[in-house]
Structure formats: C-alpha cells, structure tokens
Amino acid sequence: MGINWGRKLFHIASSLFFFGLLKFLQKPYFQIFLLFTAGLVLLWEFLRLRFPAILPFKSLWESLLKESEKKTLSDALFFILGVLISSLMLSGDPLGVAILILGISDPLAAITGAYLKRGPTFKNKSLSGTLSFFLSSFTIALFFLKAPLSSLLGLSLFLSLVELFTTRDNLWIPIACAVYLRIFDTLTF
C-alpha cells in the first residue's frame, strides 16, 4: 500500500492552518472556532456515513480516507477533538507545538516509515518512522519551547511512544503533549 499524498498534505495543511489561527485569534475565539469546526466535521461525518450520495465532491474527499475509515468516523474528527482538548490545558506556543507535532511529525513518520521500512515493525509502524517522529517532534519543541533539553527529549520520547502504541493518534498526540507539559511543568504559562 502506497502513501496517500493528498491525505498527508491535508494533514500538514490543516495543522499549519490551526497553528496560524492560534497566532491570529485570542484563545477563547480559537476554542470557539474549534468547537464550531468539530460540529461541522461531526455533521459531515454523519452525512458521509448515512447519506453519502448527497455530499458534493465525493471523488475529492473519498480519496482522503483510509480504507478503514470508509465505514466509520475518520481521523479528521479526532484531529479537531485532540486540538480542542489540548487547548483546554495549553495556550500560546505550547499549544502551537502540540498542533505542529500532530500535523508534521505524524505524517512525516508515516512517509519515512513507508520509504525506509527496514528493520523491525510494530503494529505496522517501523523503527525509521518512529525515529523520524522523535527527531521532528524534538526539533519543533526545541524551536518553540523554552524548557530544559532533558524535558524536550522526554516530551519527544513520550509522544513517540504515544504515536507508536495508540490507534487514534490524532486524538492522543496533542492531549499527551498537553498532559506531559502540565505534569512536568516544564514551561511558564
């Protein structure tokens, strides 16, 4: 099975959009926008699953779905919910980091894993993909967060394990990032 480039680009573009919106809007308005977006995505999912014939541009949106999502909720809803829930715990750059790691490190891991699928795999995820996730998440955190290097390495390792062991990583990556940053209080909020 090859890489769904449209899906990966949509994933990255969505995170960059939300990251930009976070910089532009005050936090309460950002959260209202996320709630509104979650409502729209939930309506879309309901219509897609129950009445797909009435939705326009079927060839466009259907090509973005994984085979496993064609009869169940897509990861798009979990992406929005993960960002929304993490926004209840974080703001500013820490929230931006959670969004960027979700939107950049996650697809980068899938791309790297697909092209460099050497060595052991776990749950259809490769060591090279996990390493790619770790390095990219560390780079993002290092660029945006003022925290001890050990905390940033711990964050990247923790999120790499979350990405490896969860099935709904679009939900759990930003939430795990928020929880880690709150528990270890590595930042001044």
- Short-list 112, 120, 115, CA closest to 137: 112
Taking only the tens place, the pLDDT of each residue in 146-156 is 888 999 999 99
Place of tokens 């064609």: 70
pLDDT cut 90: percent of the chain above it:
57
Q: Which candidate, 18, 44, 15, places its Cα nearest to that of 31?
A: 18
User: Residues 18-57: pLDDT tens digits?
Assistant: 999 999 999 999 999 999 999 999 998 898 888 878 877 7
pTM attached to this predicted model: 0.89
Mean pLDDT, rounded, for 164-171: 90
Which whole-number Å values give the CA distances from 62 to 7, 58, 111, 137, 140, in the listed order?
A: 10, 6, 20, 29, 31
Please list the alpha-helical segments (H only) found in 25-103: 27-50, 58-62, 75-87, 92-100
**CA 189/CA 186 separation, integer angstroms:** 9
pLDDT at 60: 63
Residue 185, classed as helix, strand or coil, is coil
Confidence at 189, pLDDT banded by 50, 70, 90: very low
**How many CA atoms does the CB half-sphere of 78 hold within 13 Å?**
15
